[in-house]
Amino acid sequence: MESFQIATADWLKALQKLNESFIVYAPVNNGDSIDYEIVGDNNINDIIYNTPKPVTPLKTFFLPVKENVVINKKIHNKNIIMGIPSCDLAGVSLLDEIYLDKDFIDPYYRNVRENSILIGTDCFTTQEHCHCTAYGINPYPEKNNDLSLISLNGSILIFVNTDKGIEIAARIKEVATVHEISSENIKAVQTKREAVKKELKKSYKNLPDYKETGKLIIKSKDAIWEKYAKTCVSCGACATICPTCTCFLLIDRPDFEKVRQLDACQYPGFERIAAGEDPLGRKYVRFRNRYLCKYVWKPEKFESIACTGCGRCIESCIGSINKNELFTELVNKK
């Protein structure tokens, strides 16, 4: 599909125009962290481009922490979500497989998903725990994005990927002067992409790939999990912030209503049955369960991968557990 570039000033005009018909979310720098904010006149100039992941994973737009899933709702607002890095875009594939499973389509998920335009971004820099390339994901948008966008040399480069993207491109063109992407810019993007890939590969050269990790986990002994789970406090931050962890609890409310609330297999009692038996009763077993799920069971059941190498679980762990150190240790023990 098409691609073009426009002057940054034109892009800001286009964004204001889009803001009239959509709720636009974009990554904004809050000082020590980057997160999505609703774009308005107050922050339109603070949007940051070409950067790795915002704190909040993309899944939160489609699966809110708490949502009543029995009451009828009006059609959701139309959203544009900008600045989505490839790790989060890759995560959408698994979400779609689960929540748009043809046997039971989740209407709440589908509603927001269908009413959201996803705009991907290249990552021109990396964060300490980024490791997408270890799992076969490039640090630039390749799937699940309607458009992608790069800010470069005073221009915004726009790549259109879907029919939804064409509609947005048409609206942009109404207020912006469109140019063909210059050959220098194409070259600059290619050079940048290669450099970021190289940087990521260098930092994670000893990390096993996705499939190999699954094999190592199957062969692993309890001791290593006990060792790494020592500082785990079962807070569930790793699962809450993971772009592909989507387990939930159904909470009963009066009038036979039900609230779907984000849950985590790290919480005690997640699998407990009526008589009290609990296969995940021990902390290290729960800790291991999440990785068995991600690297062994989900790949057996679904097409899409269940870890996209975003590194959020490492950043968010208050017990300072680094799963990549664990997997590297498993390689070394082989």
Partner 1 sequence: MSNIGSIYKPLKAKVDKVITESPTIKTLVLIPEADFSFKTGEFIQLTLNGYGEAPFTPSSSPLEKRRLEVTIMKAGYVTEKVHALKAGEVVGIRGPFGRGYPVEQFYGKEIVIVSGGCGFAPIRSLLYNLMAEKEKFKKVTVCYGAKTPEECIYKPFVDELRKTERFEVYRSVDNADDKWEEKEGVVTILLDDIKVDIKNSVAVVCGPPVMMKFGTMKLLEMGYPGSDIYLSMEKNMSCGLGKCGHCMMGKYFVCKDGPVFTYEEIKNEPDIWL
Query: Which lies closer to partner 1 via its Cβ, residue 108 or residue 204?
Result: 108
Q: Give min distance, CB of 110 to partner 1, in A.
A: 9
8-16, 178-186, 240-248, 306-314 -> range binding partner 1 (CB under 8 A): 240-248
Binding of residue 75 to partner 1 (CB under 8 A): yes
DSSP secondary-structure letter at 179?
B
Residue 66 binds partner 1 (CB under 8 A): no
* Signed CA dihedral, 198, 203, 204, 205: sign only: positive
Counting contacts by CB under 8 A, is residue 303 touching partner 1?
Answer: no
Cβ proximity to partner 1, 4 vs 295, nearer residue: 295
Could you tell me how many residues of this chain bind partner 1 (CB under 8 A)?
48
Our finding on whether 276 is near partner 1 (CB under 8 A) is yes
Of 40-48, 200-208, 271-279, 308-316, which segment contacts partner 1 by CB under 8 A?
271-279
DSSP E strands in 214-302: the ranges are 248-253, 257-262
Residue 313 makes contact with partner 1 by CB under 8 A: no
How far apart (Å, rounded) are the C-alpha atoms in residues 20 and 22? 6
Q: Which of 156, 163, 168, 225 minimizes the C-alpha distance to 24?
A: 168
CA pair distance 193, 52, nearest whole angstrom: 13
**What is the side-by-side strand order in the sheet with 257-262?**
66-68, 257-262, 248-253
For residues 96 and 106, give the distance between their C-alpha atoms in angstroms, rounded to a whole number. Answer: 10
Shortest CB 54 distance to partner 1, Å? 25
20-28, 114-122, 243-251, 307-315 -> range binding partner 1 (CB under 8 A): 243-251
102 backbone dihedrals φ, ψ, rounded to 5° = -60, -25
Q: Does 295 bind partner 1 (CB under 8 A)?
A: no
Q: Which token pair is 238? A: 């790793």
261 three-class SS? strand
Region of 126-134, 153-161, 219-227, 274-282 interacting with partner 1 (CB under 8 A): 274-282
Binding track over 95-114 against partner 1, x by CB under 8 A: ---xx-x-xxxxxx--x---
Applying CB under 8 A, among 41, 102, 183, 275 the residue interacting with partner 1 is 275
Q: Nearest distance from residue 248's CB to partner 1, in Å?
A: 5
Does the footprint of partner 1 cover residue 293 (CB under 8 A)? yes
**272 lies in the binding site for partner 1 (CB under 8 A):** yes
Instruction: Kindly tell me the burial class for residue 288, based on how many C-beta atoms sit within 10 Å of its own C-beta (0-12, 13-18, 19 or more).
Output: buried
User: Taking CB under 8 A as the rule, does residue 78 contact partner 1?
Assistant: no
Residue 260 sits in the site that holds partner 1 (CB under 8 A): yes
Single out the segment in contact with partner 1 by CB under 8 A; choices: 10-18, 72-80, 145-153, 303-311: 72-80
Q: Within 10 Å of residue 154's Cβ, how many Cβ atoms? A: 9
Q: In Å, what is the CA distance from 64 to each residue of 68, 75, 101, 246, 263? A: 10, 16, 19, 10, 11
Instruction: State the DSSP string of 304-330.
Output: S-S-----HHHHH-TT---HHHHHHHH
Shortest separation between residue 99's beta carbon and partner 1, angstroms: 7
What residues make contact with partner 1 under the rule CB under 8 A?
69-75, 98-99, 101, 103-108, 111, 246-250, 252-256, 258, 260, 263, 265, 270-279, 292-293, 296-298, 300-301
